[in-house]
Amino acid sequence: MTEEKPKSTILLIILAALLIFAGPTYAVYAFLHVLHLNYFASMGSGFALFIIGVIFLLLLMKKKIIS
């Protein structure tokens, strides 16, 4: 019998994946072309989103939410 995960847990996992994968790609594009930010500021913010996503994923793994 499998254990069902609550909807909030699934949303946290999706948020971590979005920060890791969409942060350095789509967010950087949006910062560069939509918001017209500086190149280095947009790259730095994309890298920061990636790091936040990795830390968030590691915390989920530490709390045994993701095995």
Residue 37 half-sphere exposure, CB side, CA atoms within 13 Å?
Answer: 15
pLDDT band at 28 (very low <50, low <70, confident <90, very high): very high
- Distance CA(58)–CA(44), nearest Å, equals 21
- Answer whether 45's CB lies under 8 Å from 31's CB: yes
* End-to-end C-alpha distance for the chain, whole angstroms: 17
Domain ranges in the chain are: 7-62
Cα dihedral sign, 11-12-17-18: positive
Closest residue by Cα to residue 16 from 49, 39, 63: 49
Instruction: Tell me if the pTM is above 0.85.
Output: no
pLDDT tens-digit map of 1-11: 456 678 888 88
